Chains A and B, each alone.
Chain A
Amino acid sequence: MSLDFIIYLIINTAFILLIAPLFAGLIRKVKAWTQGRQGPPVLQQYYNLAKLFRKEIIYSPHASWIMRATPLVNMAAIMVAALFVPLVFVPEPVGGIGNIILFLYLLALARFFMALAGLDAGSSFGGMGSSREMSIAAIIEPTTIIVFAALAIVFKSFNIFVMFASSAATGALTTPTIILIGISLFIILIVETSRIPVDNPETHLELTMIHEGMILEQTGRNLALMELSAAVKLTLLMALMINLIIPAGLAVTLTAAGIFIAAILFILKGSLLAVIIGLFESSMAKKRFFQLPSLFAMAFFFSTLIIIIEVFA
């Protein structure tokens, strides 16, 4: 492991922890604007996290060790996954870090523990949330695998680092396959981060909640960890999309100026994507649960098409 790589690990982790709540706050702000409200400040997520980290933790009397372990396992899995997606600087890959299938299953591990914790506290909302989350996970997983397979076929590598490096080298924005991949990744992003039309991240009051239902019983520091990990996951998937589709400015050599420019550009591109997500969410209603497969089928269709094009042509 070279020095470059160690510096990469530090920069990437610090940067993603720093900016993750920003994008979540921005999406919320855009949604508020489209509804004609002023909305919370963009930095509200940071204040929330700071407050939650100071609060005490209360466990339900029915809760087992799962409830205690979940926030940590969840955060750890997501942070390891965060190492797989370079945000501003792409080093040479080392070992299995950057493997796209491992990345996918780290996210699945976090999701699995979150669903267990939803059941563990013994509240009926948590159980319902977990059951829905797992049903959706079971349907979306084949789609995600196909999308990632399409990515691997287009870039001829399983490693996210190599993909980013080659997209940064070509800067390809407008090839047909990249557009189709962008759409598929966007759908995956929406589903994985529980946003409208799959789930509504704003509400705790409806019987339709999925992600919020599962973390309903979390309190204090644990809740802060769950929220932070959700924000980091959102940023990760956004980064995957941004650095594949608009890689301009992504640093491939380690220089202070390059990383600084890449960071600024990443924040700009990420904010743009956050605004797009906010507008997309505002323009639709939540779908009925049994209509969701048609959304996944679209991502599945596009990525299969990519595979067909790449394999046959």
Chain B
Amino acid sequence: MIESAFVAGLVRVLFVCIIITAVYIISARNLLSIVSVYAVQSLTLVVIALLLYLLEGAPVLIAIAAITFASKVLIIPYFIATIQEKIRIKRDIQFHFLSPTSSLFVSMGLMLLVYIVLERVMAATGDRDNLFFFGAVLGISLMLMGMMVTFSRKRALTKILGFLSMENGVLLFGLFVTELPFIIEFLIVIDLIILVLLTTILTVGLDSTLEDYHKRLHRFHLWEDEVEVR
């Protein structure tokens, strides 16, 4: 049996990995690497779930790790990479409301806020185990950082990646605090896969911004495999 202090230490290091990937997703401009970093982030979650299994021994954690691995490490990044190959865009350099730098500053503030708020909430329940508390803070922060990606990027593809990373935050929070019922976790994953599948169908618009998506739909009607979209 592995020592639980060692496992907790490993989980803390993985927390740092998650923060780093989240920061990368906020600030990177190269789409391809954002996708692979998203896959790495999901993989980190899988490892965290497995480590938590070692700590707690709840079999549902293995199931969560398995579906996360299958969906978020393999299937979704594969689909997005496929879309990307099709639409041949490599960079996302358009932002509105917030530049990556200012999103970083804002997310710093948000993290602090989440920390302070959660500290009070958790103090009331009396359940303030250090590791689990940090997991919860990180989960919510990751959610908010994903949200920031979603609204500060202009490209639809990056918006989706932001949304996916937000969902990773939910998963993290669920792992550490509330034990989401497995069926809900499963449904969320199905939702995500359907979302990504839909986006593969809507490829036409993905290299545009949402604003001129409508124009694009008309302009691209010659594109054979997307005719039915119109």
Within 8 Å by CB of B13, from A174, A298, A304, A308, lies A174
A302 vs B27: C-alpha distance in the bound complex, in angstroms? 13
A293 vs B105: C-alpha distance in the bound complex, in angstroms? 12
B63 within 8 A of A: no
Closest chain A residue, CB of each to CB of B102: A297
A305 vs B134: C-alpha distance in the bound complex, in angstroms? 13
Chain A binding surface SS class: helix
Closest chain B residue, CB of each to CB of A174: B13
Within 8 Å by CB of A175, from B12, B100, B130, B134, lies B12
A176 vs B10: C-alpha distance in the bound complex, in angstroms? 9
Within 8 Å by CB of A313, from B104, B112, B130, lies B130
The A-contacting residues of B in range 105-137, CB under 8 angstroms, are 105, 107-108, 111-112, 115, 119, 130, 134
Report yes or no: A308 in contact with B101, Cβ–Cβ below 8 A: no
Chain B binding surface SS class: helix
Question: Chain B residues near A304 (CB, 8 Å)?
Answer: 108
A295 vs B130: C-alpha distance in the bound complex, in angstroms? 31
A304 vs B119: C-alpha distance in the bound complex, in angstroms? 19
Report yes or no: B111 in contact with A308, Cβ–Cβ below 8 A: yes
A255 within 8 A of B: no
A293 vs B111: C-alpha distance in the bound complex, in angstroms? 21
Question: Chain B residues near A301 (CB, 8 Å)?
Answer: 23, 104-105, 107-108
What is the CB-to-nearest-CB distance from B151 to chain A, in angstroms, rounded to a whole number? 18
Report yes or no: A297 in contact with B105, Cβ–Cβ below 8 A: yes
A180 vs B108: C-alpha distance in the bound complex, in angstroms? 14
Stretch of B14-22, B41-49, B154-162 contacting A (4+ beta carbons < 8 Å): B14-22
Report yes or no: A305 in contact with B115, Cβ–Cβ below 8 A: no
Closest chain B residue, CB of each to CB of A291: B29
Interface string of A53-94 (1 = CB under 8 A from B): 000000000000000000000000000000000000000000
A183 within 8 A of B: yes
Closest chain B residue, CB of each to CB of A304: B108
Question: Chain B residues near A298 (CB, 8 Å)?
Answer: 23, 27, 104
B9 within 8 A of A: yes
A170 within 8 A of B: no
Question: Chain A residues near B19 (CB, 8 Å)?
Answer: 180, 302, 305
Report yes or no: B23 in contact with A308, Cβ–Cβ below 8 A: no
Closest chain A residue, CB of each to CB of B15: A176
A189 vs B158: C-alpha distance in the bound complex, in angstroms? 31
Question: Chain A residues near B23 (CB, 8 Å)?
Answer: 298, 301-302
Could you jot down 8 A-B contacts, CB within 8 Å? A179-B13, A180-B16, A298-B23, A301-B104, A301-B108, A304-B108, A305-B19, A308-B111
